[in-house]
Amino acid sequence: MKRIFALPVVFALALSPLVASAQVLGPAGAAAVASAPAVGAAASLPSLNFTLSQPQMREAYRGAQANLNMAVAGILAAPAGFASTVKAYEAASAEYSRALNPLVFLGEVSPDPAVRRTAQAIGKVADRKSVELSMNEALYRKIEEAAARGETLDPVDARLMADTLKNFREGGFALSPDQRERLKAVQQKLNTLSGDFARNITDKKDELVVGEDGVQGLPAGYRATLPRGTDGAYRVPVDEPNSAMFLRYADNADARRAMMLKFNNRGGERNLALLHEALGLRREMARLLGFAGYPDMVLKDRMAGSPQAVIAFLGRLKDAVLDRARRDSADVLEAKRRVEPGATQVYAWDRQYYSRRLREERYALDQETVKQYFPVDRVVEGTMKVYQRVLGVTFREVPDPRAWAPGVRLFEISDAHSGRLIGHFYLDLTPRPGKHDHPAAFPLVSGRVRADGSYEPPVSAMIADFPQPEPGKPSLLSHGDVETFFHEFGHLMHGTLTQARYASYAGTSVARDFVEAPSQMLENFVWERAVLDELSGRWDDGSRLPDELFAKMLAARDFQSGMMYAGQIGLAMGDMILHSTVPDDVSAAFNKIMAEYTGVPQTPGNNFVGSFGHLMGGYGAGYYGYLWSKVFAQDIYSFFQAAGVISPEVGARYRAQILAWGSERPEKESLRAFLGREPSEKAFMNGLVGRRLQRKLGGR
């Protein structure tokens, strides 16, 4: 899930409108909802404009900032109280983010480089202003005064009061004036570093130039899509889909090594310097605020609670998967020896290639054959059918989306029972120069109860870089791509099907080590026969995925899972160690950790950590959350599985107890309400690493 912009004391913004069905009403925001177009009415457009000129974009930002300044002045002039101070500030912040998010989003997706630069510049200014506002002492004192009144508040309002006060206090108001100025400078610099780090990756456009010997082994259809120079050489774009294809299929080891290094070094030396500076500043910020280190500061409000709990979890998982990972590694080495007798080592540029060959040998499973059954339009249509049935919603395409680029699609979502409008989402699934190159869901407008009692219909966007069509064929997705789409669509629904009263608590504004759980739970669906019947349809004749091919896919599902988990544990541990130690050479330190966990030797010149966007994109000291939340994901899924997977009944409970609440109540309470018991690791261990490993790990 990709966040765009949020004022620090308003927590993280998320996608978030209302569940309109009376049978799933739950949180406090559900009571005040305006009527919406009935089923059958023309599909509506969200009130967003993605065609603003650069001067209009700058003017729109200035207007939003002026409105926020005016709102804050009004708060300071009014008597202190929950409604006049805290609630008013929450509303002003939500309005500001509503205006700002679509502008900043254009920096990720606009085809026009000048528009992207303008959007990025606006984001930088807004980041500085947000830090200044979080350190507005007059506003802090007013919030303190409001809290001191001791008003009787319902649980949601009491939570907002406490959280707003806590976040302002953690903004450094206990510090001396000099320390506060330093803290402000550190926070502003960190915002700048984060933006620069991401842009260095996104703006890097490179290609691998190879001759015929470099493309041997690549599927003929894919090879035909590659651009060629006047000299006849192939020019392979260095981006996520092309590098994955190249590393999986190219026979030439030198060419694979060159592609791996180019892809991993997109951020370059510049990003290594930015990351090192950010690590130091994060540690300084944490210590200014009284924490031992940045992980301690970040994790205190997460489900894990502390670095010690994270390290213990990762350590137990490592112990459990170690033997399996070693067997996986030995299997790949044997596959390499069948091509290179006497080989003693599998290198980083070998792993995907020989794993693919071994998979095909062991299971007679060819991914190119699988792809023929997953044309992108069929996957999109089938995904929506499944989600509609499970969650009780209806999707309707808006014919003229008036979006930021050709080919972007817009959909309206409404409640299937009442027909009430819930919100909108965009799908932007094809690669473009300058576009954010990793699948992600972006919040554009957050759901919330507005001053007039109506609910703000949220707007969000999913972007991806799925493969370009091959000659004579549509864009075809691997089963992994299908899983990715289903996952990201889950983020859209997590954000959309909320009833939270305030934007600060709506949808995906949950603990970072829980936010992936709903989408990870839904990944399981694409391994079920009934779901694949909806998602699959061969591009030329519409036939469903054959049972024989599905059986092979199931047999290979856990193939190399030990190495996969070892890699994920290594990434998570590397993140924690970098933030705890702040090494002088971040690349060498990170590579050493990854070699320790995966058994793959370090590659000279490989600076992957400079292109590891998570570390600077909101997941710093938090990458472990992907594994942590998987525990909850599998626990939730066990209920769907027991009910036949596509279960409207379980879906309604999931919608009511998990999605609707956002973070209006602690995430663990929502889990207990859905599960009817305490969360358990059992389903995670049984389903992902086997019953034997579950016994080794024990319970958490």
pLDDT of 695 above 90: no
The per-residue pLDDT for 614 is 94
The whole-number average pLDDT for the span 648-663 is: 97
**What is the helix (H) or strand (E) element at residue 65, kind and residue range?**
helix 54-77
Instruction: State the Cα–Cα distance between residues 675 and 656, nearest whole angstrom.
Output: 12
Q: How confident is the model at residue 683 (pLDDT cuts 50, 70, 90)?
A: confident
pLDDT of 403 above 80: yes
The per-residue pLDDT for 2 is 56
Instruction: State the Cα–Cα distance between residues 111 and 444, nearest whole angstrom.
Output: 18
Q: How confident is the model at residue 688 (pLDDT cuts 50, 70, 90)?
A: low
Phi, psi of 636 (to 5 degrees): -65, -45
Instruction: State the Cα–Cα distance between residues 325 and 602, nearest whole angstrom.
Output: 17
- The region, left, alpha or beta by phi > 0 then psi within -120 to 50, assigned to residue 194 is alpha
The per-residue pLDDT for 1 is 58
- What mean pLDDT value characterizes the chain? 91
Is residue 488 among the annotated active site residues? yes
- Tens-place pLDDT, residues 428-458: 999 888 898 789 999 999 999 999 999 999 9
Instruction: State the Cα–Cα distance between residues 250 and 269, nearest whole angstrom.
Output: 27
- Name the residue ranges covered by the structural domains of the chain: 205-264
Q: Are 511 and 667 in contact (CB under 8 A)?
A: yes
Model confidence, pTM: 0.87
Instruction: State the Cα–Cα distance between residues 695 and 693, nearest whole angstrom.
Output: 5
The per-residue pLDDT for 155 is 96
Share of residues in the chain with pLDDT > 70 (%): 92
Q: Is 152 exposed, middle or buried (0-12, 13-18, 19+ CB in 10 A)?
A: exposed
Instruction: State the Cα–Cα distance between residues 123 and 140, nearest whole angstrom.
Output: 24
pLDDT of 209 above 90: yes
Instruction: State the Cα–Cα distance between residues 442 and 629, nearest whole angstrom.
Output: 20
pLDDT of 37 above 50: no
Q: How confident is the model at residue 165 (pLDDT cuts 50, 70, 90)?
A: very high
The per-residue pLDDT for 400 is 92
User: Taking Cα atoms as reference points, which of 665, 657, 492 lies closest to residue 24?
Assistant: 657
The whole-number average pLDDT for the span 305-324 is: 92
Instruction: State the Cα–Cα distance between residues 176 and 154, nearest whole angstrom.
Output: 35
Sheet holding 409-415, edge to edge: 393-398, 409-415, 421-428, 459-463, 440-445
Query: What residues contact 40, with CB distance under 8 A and at least 6 apart?
Result: 419
C-alpha distances in angstroms, 602 versus 299, 375, 608? 30, 38, 11
User: Taking Cα atoms as reference points, which of 496, 433, 509 lies closest to residue 462?
Assistant: 496
Give residue 132's identity as a one-letter amino acid code.
E
CA gyration radius, the chain: 25
Q: How confident is the model at residue 609 (pLDDT cuts 50, 70, 90)?
A: very high
The per-residue pLDDT for 468 is 87
pLDDT of 407 above 80: yes
pLDDT of 402 above 80: yes
- Tens-place pLDDT, residues 461-490: 999 999 889 889 999 999 999 999 999 999
Q: Could you say which of 108, 170, 456, 488 is catalytic?
A: 488
Torsion on CA atoms 677, 683, 685, 688, rounded to nearest 10: -150
